[in-house]
Structure 1
Amino acid sequence: MKTNRRNFLLGSAAFGAAGLGTFPHIWSKNSGLARAAGGQIKVGVLFSLTGTTAIIEESLNKATIMAIEEINAAGGVNGMEIVPVVEDPASDPATFAEKARKLVLQDKCVSVFGSYTSASRKAVLPVFEKRDNLYWYPTLYEGRECSKNVIYTGAVPNQQQDEFVPWLVKNFGKRWYLIGSNYIYPKEENNYCKKLLAELGAEVVHEEYVPLGHSEFSSVINKLKAEKPDVIFSTVVGDSVVALHRQYHAAGLDPEKMPMASLTTSENEVAAMGGAAAAGHFTSAPYFMVWDSPENQKFVEAYKSRWGGDKVTHFVSEPSYFQVHLFKQAVEKLSPDDIDPTTIREAVKGEQFNAPQGLVKIEGENLHTWLRPKIGQCKSDGQFEILQQSADWLEPIPYKAYDGQVCTADGLKSS
């Protein structure tokens, strides 16, 4: 299944990589960038089409490609066509780094859109910082990063948890079980969650992490039966989300008494596990497919039309889509001779876009995004009912878990 999809998506953009040299690239006015040659702007698309996180990343690829196609169909960027160079890093951080080097050095892309896990973002970060290129990262993540070479369009902990955790404590109770995949994102999110729980007088009865791709949760289910927590706080990702939910459901556990509250379970994972296994559980995110707005209706209809009526949109595919439009708006402010990663970075600061979730904005100080958090409960039809939404968009504070540290345009500062 994934082989055919991979070949199709790679084939749709492979022409953009033809005929390029392999020497290290230095940004300069006369460097022969593909950005202006033949009226084209070359960008990289770096999402896994195979491996354990392909269940989510292939949809990020689709949303990115769709946005590029929309922009090109409407005349491009000041008449220039965006040409995507698609690579498959196969859910492996080392391969992410290898492919990122190719996109920056060989393909000479002025920006790269990519990554789902923080492990893969951390793997490519040295490439973009060393070469002063620009990486657009659409995924909710743990914060605690302050780079001039990443545009962060996903939620940080304060945007997902500041309203979600108090709401769960109020409605379900103070005994929490924390389970996540074993890498940096779940551990940092749980650190922030524990800080909020302590402020609310709540407690963590158990905390554990499972390997990426883990699929056997019988021991976890037994612990849940024994501990009987009020809330199961899940930061499990990829295929493991499907396995955890199915085994929870098969064990006869009751979401009305012991719900899973997730930062990482979207419509995409729900479609894979089935509505019955997801029903009754909660997710906090800036975007849900059911959100009622003209912009979201257009987005959902276009996505289904392009990729199939059975496809779903979700809280990572949506920023994958809108960040390409923010890229376009930034590049439109530049003359063809001035298009490079550093000028794009400066041009995108403060840019706003009326995204499917609502109006979003790139914060000039830290290159993160003002977003609109919501709390949803999954229904048996695989969609979410939105129970609560923020009164306004919420400022991104990537170091909120770390008192005295602030990400600014001049780097990390002590406050």
Structure 2
Amino acid sequence: MLKTTHAAAQRPRAGRWLAAAAGLALGLSAALPARAQDTIKIGILHSLSGTMAISETTLKDVMLMLIDEQNKKGGLLGKKLEAVVVDPASNWPLFAEKARELISKDKVAVVFGCWTSVSRKSVLPVFKELNNILFYPVQYEGEESERNVFYTGAAPNQQAIPAVDYLMKEEKVKRWVLEGTDYVYPRTTNKILEAYLKLKGVKDEDMMINYTPFGFSDWQTEVSKIKTFGSSGKKTAVVSTINGDANVPFYKELGNQGIKATDIPVVAFSVGEEELAGLDTKPLVGHLAAWNYFESIKTPANEKFIKQWHAFTNDPKRTTNDPMEAHYIGFHLWVKAVEKVKSTDPDKVIDALPGIETPNLTGGIAKVLPNHHITKPVFIGEIRADGQFNVVYPDNPKKAPLVPGDAWSDYLPGSKDLEADWVTLKCGNYNTVTKKCLGSSS
């Protein structure tokens, strides 16, 4: 049933990095024809071409692996699962069109997809109007809780805030460069970080905030500014919310200009094993990333997952990463909810998901919270010469405390009084002061 797309998972790494152009042709149809009543259709909404294909193609592939595995177990509710893959091509309005097509035309029971927040924002009205379910697997800026969305990536309190705390404590950082791609996730995350840093006593002159477009490649001037800003004598760090293939020339330019982690450490929120796979990482050794999963964390569950991934892709060098684990978690949560209510009806599944738990890959438990976020561990990793990460926080990754995801930031005036609760309050943005639900939650 998945034969036509399994080949897409076997592409050479270089092809994925350059443009993932082949992903469009290979990923348009994910399954051999089957009668709708005999299958449960699952939508996969990830860019297989354009600037975000560098990150999203592997998420399509892992979903195919998870669906294939579930089918080998006998499917779900006595039916086979059928993947329906579309390519929104890093085109944000096209995400909404493809989501509508998946739900209205293909009659999918659930959708796993999106990477950027602008793509997620694009599809939200569609999921609300047509009452379907989106599992969103990527770290994001928070400030949102939708009934039809389950956020399996990190909220800022599960990634950005802990990363800054680590740099303050362990690296004694005093000056901050907030470097991001110009769209909603970096801008909102940096707004939260700016407020948090000021709360910690950081002055305006010790912060530099900069944004560049998607696909930006001419980093020489921008990296020079970072180098100059970091030459004041105060310890400086870069907090990077650069997304997509712009990371490749950014990290290359850091190496070209000799910016070492010992001088100006960079902590990234969107760079993992997949993004590093096409780079010469030797000049980047010691730079950091904050995630909730690293491939290098050794647990029986993770070793099994990696082995399964290598077998499925027929590539022993193919890496795993955090958003892949988020899809792994989300898929298993959805399966458990469907089994619990013995139905794929969105309303029943949405109501069943809060409280459901499933093991993550690093030794903890992911639990769906009333705000539709999940519990996650927090890890800080240093880039190694082989493109993997050494976990530097916490000391024992297998015993990392689980942090509940916050939908609304405690550090923004318009958010600190808001609470998301789809179980008791039936609201994504309940104001605890006025005791009113504000309506649209994003």
Is this a same-fold pair by TM over 0.5? yes
Alignment of 1:302-321 (within 5 A): 302-307=308-313, 308-321=315-328
Q: What residue is the counterpart of 2:419 in the other structure? A: 406
In structure 1, C-alpha distance between the alignment counterparts of 2:256 and 2:237, rounded to whole Å: 18
In structure 1, C-alpha distance between the alignment counterparts of 2:172 and 2:53, rounded to whole Å: 33
Query: What is the aligned counterpart of 1:329 among 319, 323, 336?
Result: 336
Question: Using a 3 Å threshold, how does the CA distance of structure 1 residues 14 and 50 change in structure 2: closer, same or farther?
Answer: farther
Stretches of structure 2 lacking an aligned partner (at least 5 in a row): 1-14, 433-442
In structure 2, C-alpha distance between the alignment counterparts of 1:378 and 1:105, rounded to whole Å: 44
Partner SS for 1:13: coil
Query: What is the aligned counterpart of 2:363 among 338, 358, 362?
Result: 358
Q: What residue is the counterpart of 2:228 in the other structure? A: 226
Q: What residue is the counterpart of 1:31 in the other structure? A: none
Say which is worse superposed, 154-163 or 47-56, in terms of deviation. Answer: 154-163
**Equivalent position amino acid for 1:320 in 2:** H
Deviations 1:167-215 (A, max 9, x none): 1012142101111000000011111212221232234431010001111
Q: What residue is the counterpart of 2:242 in the other structure? A: 236
Q: What residue is the counterpart of 1:211 in the other structure? A: 213
Q: What residue is the counterpart of 1:144 in the other structure? A: 143
Partner SS for 2:393: strand
Alignment of 1:257-272 (within 5 A): 257-272=263-278
Q: What residue is the counterpart of 1:26 in the other structure? A: none
Report deviation, 1:4: 3.2
Say which is worse superposed, 3-12 or 210-219, in terms of deviation. Answer: 3-12
Retained in 2: the 8 A contact 1:280–1:377?
Answer: yes
Retained in 1: the 8 A contact 2:27–2:86?
Answer: no
Deviations 1:357-393 (A, max 9, x none): 3333343411111111111111111110001137411
Report deviation, 1:296: 0.5
**Equivalent position amino acid for 1:141 in 2:** Y
Alignment of 1:290-309 (within 5 A): 290-307=296-313, 308-309=315-316
Retained in 2: the 8 A contact 1:72–1:81?
Answer: yes
Partner SS for 1:231: strand
Report whether the alignment pairs 1:77 with 2:76.
yes
**Equivalent position amino acid for 2:188 in 1:** E
Report deviation, 1:165: 1.0
In structure 2, C-alpha distance between the alignment counterparts of 1:117 and 1:360, rounded to whole Å: 25
Retained in 1: the 8 A contact 2:329–2:366?
Answer: no
In structure 2, C-alpha distance between the alignment counterparts of 1:302 and 1:391, rounded to whole Å: 25
Report deviation, 1:154: 0.3
In structure 2, C-alpha distance between the alignment counterparts of 1:260 and 1:383, rounded to whole Å: 16
In structure 2, C-alpha distance between the alignment counterparts of 1:122 and 1:360, rounded to whole Å: 28
Partner SS for 1:151: strand
In structure 2, C-alpha distance between the alignment counterparts of 1:269 and 1:341, rounded to whole Å: 34
Q: What residue is the counterpart of 1:4 in the other structure? A: 22
Alignment of 1:120-269 (within 5 A): 120-170=119-169, 171-203=171-203, 204-228=206-230, 230-269=236-275
Retained in 1: the 8 A contact 2:23–2:49?
Answer: no
Alignment of 1:384-395 (within 5 A): 384-389=389-394, 391-395=400-404
In structure 1, C-alpha distance between the alignment counterparts of 2:335 and 2:58, rounded to whole Å: 21
Q: What residue is the counterpart of 1:374 in the other structure? A: 379
Retained in 1: the 8 A contact 2:29–2:86?
Answer: no
Alignment of 1:71-110 (within 5 A): 71-110=70-109
Question: Using a 3 Å threshold, how does the CA distance of structure 1 residues 98 and 216 change in structure 2: closer, same or farther?
Answer: same
In structure 2, C-alpha distance between the alignment counterparts of 1:201 and 1:132, rounded to whole Å: 45
Deviations 1:34-64 (A, max 9, x none): 4xx12x2111001011000000000111111
In structure 2, C-alpha distance between the alignment counterparts of 1:128 and 1:86, rounded to whole Å: 17
Retained in 2: the 8 A contact 1:142–1:188?
Answer: yes
**Equivalent position amino acid for 2:91 in 1:** D
Partner SS for 1:273: coil
Partner SS for 2:60: helix
In structure 1, C-alpha distance between the alignment counterparts of 2:384 and 2:331, rounded to whole Å: 31
Stretches of structure 1 lacking an aligned partner (at least 5 in a row): 19-33
Partner SS for 2:33: helix
Deviations 1:276-322 (A, max 9, x none): 24321111111000011111101111111111122111111111222
**Equivalent position amino acid for 2:143 in 1:** R
Question: Using a 3 Å threshold, how does the CA distance of structure 1 residues 184 and 331 change in structure 2: closer, same or farther?
Answer: same
Question: Using a 3 Å threshold, how does the CA distance of structure 1 residues 321 and 10 change in structure 2: closer, same or farther?
Answer: farther
In structure 2, C-alpha distance between the alignment counterparts of 1:172 and 1:216, rounded to whole Å: 30
**Equivalent position amino acid for 2:290 in 1:** S
Retained in 2: the 8 A contact 1:373–1:394?
Answer: yes
Retained in 2: the 8 A contact 1:14–1:85?
Answer: no
Retained in 1: the 8 A contact 2:369–2:375?
Answer: no
Deviations 1:200-244 (A, max 9, x none): 223443101000111111111121221116101110011011110
Q: What residue is the counterpart of 2:11 in the other structure? A: none
Report deviation, 1:14: 5.6
Partner SS for 1:306: helix
Report deviation, 1:135: 0.7
**Equivalent position amino acid for 1:334 in 2:** V
Retained in 2: the 8 A contact 1:166–1:200?
Answer: no
Retained in 2: the 8 A contact 1:174–1:201?
Answer: no
Aligned residue pairs: how many? 394
Partner SS for 1:287: coil
Partner SS for 2:141: coil
Report deviation, 1:12: 3.5
In structure 2, C-alpha distance between the alignment counterparts of 1:354 and 1:210, rounded to whole Å: 38
Report deviation, 1:399: 0.3
Say which is worse superposed, 287-296 or 382-391, in terms of deviation. Answer: 382-391
Q: Which 4+ runs in 1 deviate beyond 6 A? A: none
Retained in 1: the 8 A contact 2:29–2:84?
Answer: no
In structure 1, C-alpha distance between the alignment counterparts of 2:31 and 2:121, rounded to whole Å: 26
**Equivalent position amino acid for 1:97 in 2:** A
Retained in 2: the 8 A contact 1:165–1:196?
Answer: no
